[in-house]
């Protein structure tokens, strides 16, 4: 997404975490820990971060969740919903 000429990218970093980048630079990693608690690891220095970074990161995490499941996990979880004869 682009906001005021700044390009943000929100991409899965692991099964549980998603990385937020601003103009190619790593800003923060948003995710769920093993207890299901939402966590954020800021990778940008305080003086390099912007209020929009937090707002966009939290909004995207809420809207799209965090992390990315592997294809085998998706297939196995999806197989539970297939009707059986």
Residue 69 falls within a domain, yes or no? yes
Model confidence pLDDT, tens digit, residues 38-77:
888 888 888 888 888 888 888 888 777 776 555 555 555 5
Structure confidence at residue 5 (pLDDT): 85
Structure confidence at residue 81 (pLDDT): 52
pTM value is 0.68
The count of other CB atoms within 10 Å of the CB of residue 73 is 11
Reported residue count of the chain is: 85
Looking at mean pLDDT, say which of 2-6, 33-37, 53-57 comes out highest: 53-57
Residue 84 falls within a domain, yes or no? no
Total structural domains in the chain?
Answer: 1
Q: Measured on CA atoms in the order 48, 14, 32, 71, is the torsion positive or negative?
A: positive
Residue 58 falls within a domain, yes or no? yes
Residue 38 falls within a domain, yes or no? yes
Q: Give the distance, in angstroms, between the CA of residue 50 and the centroid of all CA atoms in the same chain.
A: 18
Q: Which residues 6+ apart lie within 8 Å of 56 measured at CB?
A: 1, 3, 8, 10, 20
pLDDT band at 35 (very low <50, low <70, confident <90, very high): confident
Residue 82 has pLDDT above 70, yes or no: no
């Amino acid at each position: 997404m682009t906001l005021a000429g700044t390009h943000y990218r929100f991409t899965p970093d692991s099964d549980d975490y998603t990385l937020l980048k601003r103009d190619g630079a790593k800003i923060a990693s948003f995710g769920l820990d093993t207890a299901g608690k939402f966590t954020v690891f800021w990778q940008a220095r305080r003086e390099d971060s912007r209020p929009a970074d937090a707002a966009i990161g939290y909004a995207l995490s809420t809207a799209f969740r965090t992390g990315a499941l592997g294809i085998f996990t998706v297939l196995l979880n999806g197989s539970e919903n297939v009707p059986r004869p």
